[in-house]
Structure 1
Amino acid sequence: MSSTEFIPYRIDVHHHVIPPFYVEVLRQEGITEAVPGVSFPNWNIDDMITMLDQQGIAAAIASISEPGIYFGEKVKAQALAHRVNTFLAELVQNHHTRLGAFAILPLPDIDAALKEMEYALDTLKLDGIGLLTNYRGTYLGSSTFDPLFAELNRRQIPVFIHPSTPPSKDQPHFGLPAPLYEFPFDTTRAVANLLYSGTMERYPMLRLILSHAGGTVPFLAKRLTTGAMLAKLSDRTPEHLLTLLKRFYYDVAMSISPYSLPSLQALADPSHILYGSDYPFVPVDAIARDIKELRNYDGFDRQEIHLVERENALLLFPRLRS
């Protein structure tokens, strides 16, 4: 392990912030946990910067995680999106060499989302857009989102896709929180819809980052191409579908292990794999262990580790190179 390992140089693309006002708004909506069974961890900017320094992270791209900002009322979602994005912009302005941010959008209201995206990117100068895998059961890939993806395609802006809680109310959950296993499945649901809806083909300049090594996508990559065997999908070929899957970027948050990484490597080019910590939902000691395990993993050579930990992200977020 290098003696300079903890000199800040990593770029963390999966890094959450939890503004106190956001938690208070959720409390007023009757929401006291990020998802059932998972409390909001304590968060403040000073602890966040300390964590970056201690773990050798030069910069992080901040985002809001579950449960997002839409709770059934469009006007409230618009106001909360605007407030969160302004907060993110102030964080970035105050720590411009250490932080970037993915703007949050008041989806599923497409018109409001397009308006907020324009403001967040052109006025606030945020670094990308954060999306959830589904919005009240409407998954990415639905034609509902075509105007949004058309604009994202035009701008070629990085898009961070975070899993959401599945909308099904009848599916048994065994008393276990959704992040334990449902989050990876929900990412896979969204990818399957993006794949077979034609979204990835209609918008070839999309730059989509999948959380948690793409959920189960790498392991199921070949199976996800077998739709080509069905008559109504016979215009697709497995080779073409695999090419589309390789267009995604994959962060390694909560996926740094000898079980996940070989499957991810078999699918994704090293240039499309990114470091992510999932702070503060993943505690600092676990982040430190993940960094050590990534460094000790023998499936990446030194150059590939450098790509994953830094250079790939800088190609997506060149502002942070300074």
Structure 2
Amino acid sequence: MKLIGIEEHFLTSAVANAWNAIGLEMSDPSVGYHQGVVGRRLADLAGERLALMDESGLDIQVLSLTTPALHDLGRESVELAQRTNDAVAEAVARHPTRFQAMATLPVSIPDEAALELDRCISTLGFKGTMLCGRVGARHLDDLAFAPILDCAAMLGVPVLLHPRTPPMAVRDAYYSGFSPLVDAGFATVGLGWHYDAGIQFLRLVLAGTFDRLPGLQVILGHWGELVLFYAERLAVMDRVSGLSHPIAHYLRHNLYVTASGMFLPHYLKRAVAIVGTDRLLFSTDYPYQYRPGEDARRFLSECGLDDSGKAAFAHGNWLRLTASCLQ
């Protein structure tokens, strides 16, 4: 059974240098995670990556630039996004049966970002884009970013909404008071990342984004970035939201969720209960969650879904979601 991982990351030296040039590691501790073995694996788009895909049982990786992508860069991100996408397109061309790609966008320049998304889908054959939530103090529901979301909806491609580090004021208020390492972990991979991504999605819902763009499809990793586990409480806001539908509608019609290497059958069961088997996507969150021993394929075989559900989870839902991409 073909196994497609749709949240598999890379990092180029040019992007890393751009982060270093603005001292991003001083404000975003996640930049420090991209070093050592993880850094080497992020940079590699050939030998070791393919070997570890084989070892874990993954047939295809859908490549996306790791967090925080280009969200903290300004005008220089336009040309950097183009170079990044061209480099990934070359990797896909070298290994067309093993790689697909998500567009990297100059998100702080929304009109240019929409143009680059169109180029990536229509010319380079990419499958969607990955965004990392906030840009400065602005959330993705800010009307300034409408050109990007409008373009994704028009092209019929999904937006993978990836976690990023909460702003400093939030970290100081809620994720501090321990050692620097504990503070950083608490604010990022431990919890803060996932609240931040889930809130970005809910802001899109509450802002009426999906009423305006009913065909727009968003992907949340890590089994829905906590959103699915509070679906019952979120429904309380139906009384005051003024939306065209209950919040449960948007979870069923505008959201896909993926595993991000959290291979936990009880999380999968919860996702099925909220979004259904036709909105499950597979991913390993390479290289962060890489584990040896055909871990990915073993989880698929033991996840508890029937054969048709396993096929949908493994590849069928992704192929259907991206079948309408303009090529």
Q: Is the 8 A contact 1:218 1:266 kept in 2?
A: no
Task: Provide the rounded CA distance (Å) in 2 between the counterparts of 1:319 and 1:11.
Answer: 18
- Structure 2 matches for 1:284-295, cutoff 5 A? 284-285=291-292, 288-289=294-295, 291-295=297-301
Q: Note the alpha carbon deviations across 1:244-268, whole angstroms, 9 max, x for none.
A: 1112111111432144222212101
Q: Which residue of 2 aligns with 1:25?
A: 18
Q: Which residue of 2 aligns with 1:106?
A: 106
Q: Which residue of 1 aligns with 2:203?
A: 193
Q: Which amino acid aligns with 2:153?
A: N
- Structure 2 matches for 1:100-179, cutoff 5 A? 100-169=100-169, 170-174=172-176, 175-177=183-185, 178-179=188-189
Task: Provide the rounded CA distance (Å) in 1 between the counterparts of 2:71 and 2:197.
Answer: 19
Q: Is the 8 A contact 1:137 1:166 kept in 2?
A: no
Moved more, 30-39 or 56-65: 30-39
Structure 1: gaps of 5 or more residues: 1-7
Q: What's the TM-score once normalised by structure 1's chain length?
A: 0.87
Secondary structure of the residue aligned to 1:250 is strand
Q: Which residue of 2 aligns with 1:4?
A: none
Shift of the 142–92 alpha-carbon distance from structure 1 to 2, 3 Å rule, reads: same
Q: Is the 8 A contact 1:34 1:67 kept in 2?
A: no
Q: Note the alpha carbon deviations across 1:275-300, whole angstroms, 9 max, x for none.
A: 00000112333x844542342233x2
Shift of the 36–25 alpha-carbon distance from structure 1 to 2, 3 Å rule, reads: closer
Q: Which amino acid aligns with 1:197?
A: A
Q: Which amino acid aligns with 1:54?
A: E
Q: Which residue of 2 aligns with 1:242?
A: 248
Task: Provide the rounded CA distance (Å) in 2 between the counterparts of 1:49 and 1:317.
Answer: 23
Structure 2: gaps of 5 or more residues: 177-182
Shift of the 201–101 alpha-carbon distance from structure 1 to 2, 3 Å rule, reads: same
From 12, 30, 35, the counterpart of 1:35: 30
Q: Is the 8 A contact 1:91 1:99 kept in 2?
A: yes
RMSD, aligned CA = 2.3
Runs of 4 or more, structure 1, over 6 Å off, are none
Shift of the 71–57 alpha-carbon distance from structure 1 to 2, 3 Å rule, reads: same
Task: Provide the rounded CA distance (Å) in 1 between the counterparts of 2:50 and 2:303.
Answer: 27
Q: What's the TM-score once normalised by structure 2's chain length?
A: 0.86
Moved more, 96-105 or 251-260: 251-260
Q: Is the 8 A contact 2:118 2:155 kept in 1?
A: no
Task: Provide the rounded CA distance (Å) in 1 between the counterparts of 2:217 and 2:206.
Answer: 18
Task: Provide the rounded CA distance (Å) in 2 between the counterparts of 1:93 and 1:35.
Answer: 30
Number of residues of Structure 1 aligned to a counterpart in Structure 2: 306
Q: Which residue of 1 aligns with 2:286?
A: 279
Q: How far did residue 211 of structure 1 move? A: 1.4
Matched, 1:316 2:321: yes
Q: How far did residue 181 of structure 1 move? A: 0.9
The percent of aligned pairs where both chains have the same amino acid is 23
Q: How far did residue 90 of structure 1 move? A: 0.8
Q: How far did residue 207 of structure 1 move? A: 2.1
